[in-house]
Chains A and B, each alone.
Chain A
Amino acid sequence: MSIIYVLIPIAILFVVIAIGVFFWAVKSEQFSDLNKQAHSILFEDDKEQHKKSNDGN
């Protein structure tokens, strides 16, 4: 059972990392517009045609 003395601090370390990630996400405005992110998966990023018009510019 004494393994618990080691494992719990490691678990706490993970929580601290999670909080760090969360703070970063808040800072980089990941939560400012939740609606858009939910839909973004639907859109294809690079269509052939679109690439062409990019190159054309």
Chain B
Amino acid sequence: MAKSCFHCLEAVPSGFQGEVIFEGIANPVCCTGCQAVAETILAQGMSDYYKFRTETSGRVEELVPEQLKELTNYDNQDIQKDFVSEQGNLKEVLLSVEGISCAACAWLIEKQLLALPEIKRVDVNTSTHRAMILWNNELTQLSEIIGALMQIGYKAYPFQADEEAAQKQAASKAYMRRLGVAGLMTMQVMMFAFAMYFGMFSGMEDGFEQYFRWISLILASPVILYSALPFLINAIKGLKSRQLNMDLPVSLAIFGAYGASCYATVMSVGEVYFESICMFTFLLLLGKYLEFRARMKASEFTANLQKLLPLTARRIAGAAEEVIAAKNLQLNDLILVKPGETIPADGIVVEGTSTVDESMMTGEHLPIKKFANHQVYAGTLNHDGVITLKINKVGQNTLLNQIIKLQHNALMKRPKIVEVTDKVAQWFVACLLIFASITAIGWYHVEPEHAFWVTIAVLVATCPCALSLAIPTALTCAVATLTKKGILIKEAHVLETAPKVSRYAFDKTGTLTEGRFTISDITILDQQYAESMILSLASALERYSEHPIAKAFVDDNPSFIEIHQAHVSTGLGVSGEFEGKHIAIGKPSWFGSHASFAQATLFVDKHPIADFYLQDKVRTSAPEVIEYLQSHRLTCHMLTGDSSKAASNLSNELGLDSYKQACAPKDKQQEVEQWSNRGHIVAMVGDGVNDSPVFNSAHLSIAMETGADISKNTADVVLLNSDLNSLKTLQGVAVKTKQIIKQNLTISLLYNGSILPLAALGLVPPWLAVIGMSASSIVVITNSLRLLKL
């Protein structure tokens, strides 16, 4: 039985002996990284962290002195300009911190940082995973702050909030203020309204009634003039662009009834409706705010694009190298990229060889070998060699930025199904306005003194609040349910589109498969060695490699064997000494004559012992989901950049309707566009950056959480648990939501349709109008709430 690590709770690999003493008991840890972090945390008296954490922290990678040294780059004033702001003699920075999982992390970070000299303020936000730090630069350097975070196991990067994020923050605060005012004031107005209701039955002195009306007027004014103002502004905006939107009758009713009530108060005639309009404003705002929150949370989750690009670059100036801000790179500059660093701009390799992980561009996880005259791209990760690059594209021209541009362009011409609902609403609004005017004119000719009040009654009673709540509440509830199940909806149209989808297209690597290699077959070439021995040797060696293939060996076969003099040979493999023999694992052709199609071969004294065939594992949920979708008469296709035979094998295995391989991002996009031109509604499921252009062409785009940040930013839906079964849930909830929206619309249209003639004839007294309006809204909301229980 494997023990679990004290710090990260992952299984402790057998053979590792580290432990940490907590409250007198020795606890095992899984690696020296976790050990160092746990010891730091305990030594500084922050053991509360282990008592109160509700989520586990991730596994900690060991600190490399090289990395610590690089942090000092962040102290460079020139580089800091972009993300540090000055506040008097203090500096303020926003860090994006990896690994924050619960409130205990926030506490730990605050404690750790406040122990540094002259840190004035630390604010950790556990929902956005960001920390705001205010410090005095003379006593503490930024690199020390980031270093201190690393000591307790958190990786931090300077974060630059883009304009969009700042706007959303401001919008969220504005919503909260408006809601606060509306909520507090509505309570007060209701209080006086109740007093007046009782006064109606038991009689009230005229003086008191008039006083209460004035008080209600004063209390309701901020709600109408401040909280309800956005409705009016939207309505006017709509009118200016010659559109009748839902906000128009809403604001006509609110401001009309408010105006009428003010008139009634001043002139002491007729009825006042202050409490109804206040409550109406509050409920409407609340619905809109919850909808906004759900959407904001979804977008916060997907990290900032800029994180893909490093902030600094090493420029070669003469014989020396200097660190400069990446954005100051010029064409034809020579830069040096070390192992493990991200490439800052597009360039051509002039010197050195290395393998580069381009998975964020291509979605394919096998690193690509690069040597002289090869093109490398900004944002990709250099694996194992030192390379010198000559920059040939900077800024907007890099491939990464072009992909982003492509996706922006596609975004412009996205079919908006929402527009259809808007059109229906426009008709409804137009009819309502015409009807109200006819009522006004009709009554003006029959009984002019009643005309105004009857018209207001028509607007209040038929006030389309049930109608305007029908769609948003259902959508909000559905979104909340899906979020709980790990499905993030980023666009409101998803739930309308999903039930109509007729075709699903899947990316291969990372979507249908796990994007992670496992050993599928071992051919033993020297029968002297048993398979278990071969696997142990292989995993003992591969432990020293960072190559993604190495993970296939290490993850499944923990090894007891100690290797001496381990050495990583770039582009070839790993070698070492074991019991006096020279052993090595790597390319089949490493030591000459051995020819094989295997991905790796194990050698003892340069003699091949075993061939390893690796395979990307199919997600366990994939066959089930494909079957489910096909049984619902949806066709399933695969579009993959992979050109190998694995694609056709996988397609046969899963029984897909068709597949197309060796697709560039553009090919995928064309394929999907052809389908939609033929009238199909297409959903695309993918994970890489190469999928983000096609995401915009598809009617519905779904990204895996394990995918690249860009694709998560573009996608309409993000599957947080990366479980394909979520597609079933999504389909199910979407269909149910469609039903409920239909019911809601029927209820509200029936109510409005039946009360309209009655109100127009002057048969609806004010109290009945209010009750009818509230009751229809409550029925609609209750109906929508059923979606929460799915």
Main SS of the interface on chain B? Answer: helix
Whether a CB of chain A sits under 8 angstroms from the CB of B483 is no
Instruction: Flag whether B412 is at the interface (Cβ < 8 A).
Output: no
Complex: A22 Cα to B54 Cα, angstroms: 30
- Selecting from B99-107, B159-167, B741-749, the interface stretch reads B99-107
B-side contacts of A38, CB under 8 Å: 103
Instruction: List residues of chain B with CB within 8 A of the CB of A47.
Output: 45, 48
Indicate if B125 sits at the interface (CB-CB under 8 A): yes
Q: A26-B180, A50-B46, A53-B45 are in contact. Are A39 and B102 (CB under 8 A)?
A: yes
Indicate with 1 or 0, residue by residue over B672-695, a CB within 8 angstroms of chain A CB atoms. 000000000000000000000000
Separation of A4 and B127 alpha carbons in the complex (Å)? 47
Which residues from B are CB-within-8-Å of A12? 188, 215, 218-219
Our pick among A43, A48, A57 for the contact of B117 (Cβ within 8 Å) is A57
| Distance A47 CA – B111 CA, assembled complex (angstroms) | 11
Indicate if B758 sits at the interface (CB-CB under 8 A).
Answer: no
User: Nearest Cβ in chain A — how far from B755, in angstroms?
Assistant: 34
Q: Which residues of A contact B181 (CB under 8 A)?
A: 19
B side interface size, CB within 8 A:
36
B180 partner residues in chain A, CB cutoff 8 A: 19, 22-23, 26
Query: Which residues in chain A, 26-57, are within 8 Å of chain B measured between CB atoms?
Result: 26-27, 29, 31-33, 35-36, 38-40, 42-44, 47-54, 57
Q: Does B392 contact A (CB under 8 A)?
A: no
Asked if B124 and A36 make an inter-chain contact with CB atoms under 8 angstroms apart, the answer reads yes
A54–B117 Cα gap in the complex (Å)? Answer: 9
The reply to whether the CB of A8 lies closer than 8 angstroms to some CB of chain B is: yes
CB distance from B333 to the nearest CB of A (A): 41
Pick the residue among B48, B111, B176 that contacts A42 (CB under 8 A). Answer: B48
Among residues 218 to 262 in chain B, which have CB atoms less than 8 Å away from a CB atom of chain A? 218-219
CB pair B106 A36 closer than 8 Å: yes
Number of interface residues of A (CB under 8 A): 34
**Binding site secondary structure of chain A:** helix
Partner of A33, one of B126, B177, B184: B126
Q: Residues of A contacting B106 with CB < 8 Å?
A: 33, 36
> Are A49 and B44 interface neighbours, CB within 8 A?
yes
From B219, which residue of chain A is reached at the shortest CB distance? Answer: A12
Kindly identify, within residues 168 to 189 of chain B, every residue whose CB is under 8 Å from any CB belonging to chain A.
173, 176-177, 180-181, 184-185, 188
* A40/B176 contact (C-beta < 8 A), A15-B185, A19-B184 known: no
A29 to B117 CA separation, bound complex (whole angstroms): 25
C-alpha gap A42/B215 in the complex (Å) = 44
Partner of B103, one of A8, A36, A54: A36
With A49-B44, A49-B45 as contacts: A5 and B211 at CB distance below 8 Å: yes
Nearest 10 interchain pairs by C-beta: A49-B45, A39-B103, A50-B45, A47-B45, A22-B180, A33-B125, A36-B106, A36-B103, A42-B52, A53-B44
Which residues in A have some Cβ–Cβ distance to B below 8 Å? 1, 4-5, 8, 11-12, 15, 18-19, 22-23, 26-27, 29, 31-33, 35-36, 38-40, 42-44, 47-54, 57
Told that A43-B107, A47-B48 touch, could you supply 12 new A-B pairs with CB distance under 8 A?
A8-B211, A15-B184, A15-B185, A15-B219, A23-B180, A26-B173, A27-B173, A35-B126, A36-B103, A36-B106, A44-B48, A49-B44
